[in-house]
Amino acid sequence: MLKGNEDMIQWHYHTKEHEDPLSTKERADDPAKDDAKISEVYDAKTGYGLLNSDSLRAHVDISSKGADQFVELYYKLFDTQRGVLNRLYRDSSAILWNGNAYSGITPFSEFYNKLSSSEHIINSYDCHPLPTQSLDPNTPGSIIVNVSGTVKYSNETNPRLFSQSFVLSPDPTNGSFYVWSDCFRFV
């Protein structure tokens, strides 16, 4: 939930532990009182304070640019240079491909290199910065990227719809991101 208040924005995520503090019967007639109560409860329960809107904008900007570059690169490599795709992953990467789990890049690399040639068409993608303890504009946090599109493998007649979600984590050793988690599913 993002809640605007001039030049400050409250950031939190909603879990079952942190249900809406205002049930319908508890809502005040004055929306400002509701906002104050919500801020008070969420700050106390989640530990998330107020972020400067410039800081949040910087994280959204980094996420958007990173996702643009990643989506273009990932599917280009998958379709034309699959052998180097493993450079985007780490041994600790968690990978789920259409219900099959792979722990680390080596088993996954062996799998995807056996697939017939492919052509991906991306219909849409979206990204969001993931909340971290320290949201410093100079230190990017992780990014979640959700992609949908079609893929046609050379051994199949028709293209298939797919959905793929990535969590990209910063790699401080080289100033880039790597795939921390990858979940692919035919739709």
Map out the domains of the chain as residue ranges.
Answer: 2-48, 54-186
List for the chain the helix, strand, coil content (%; round to 5).
35, 35, 25
Q: Contact at 8 Å (CB) between 134 and 143?
A: no
Q: pLDDT tens for residues 8-40?
A: 222 222 223 333 444 444 445 555 554 444 344
Is the overall model pTM greater than 0.85, yes or no?
Answer: no
* The pLDDT value given to residue 52: 58
Per-residue pLDDT, 138:
57
| CATH of the domain spanning 54-186 | 3.10.450.50
| Residue ranges, the chain, pLDDT below 70 | 1-53, 132-140
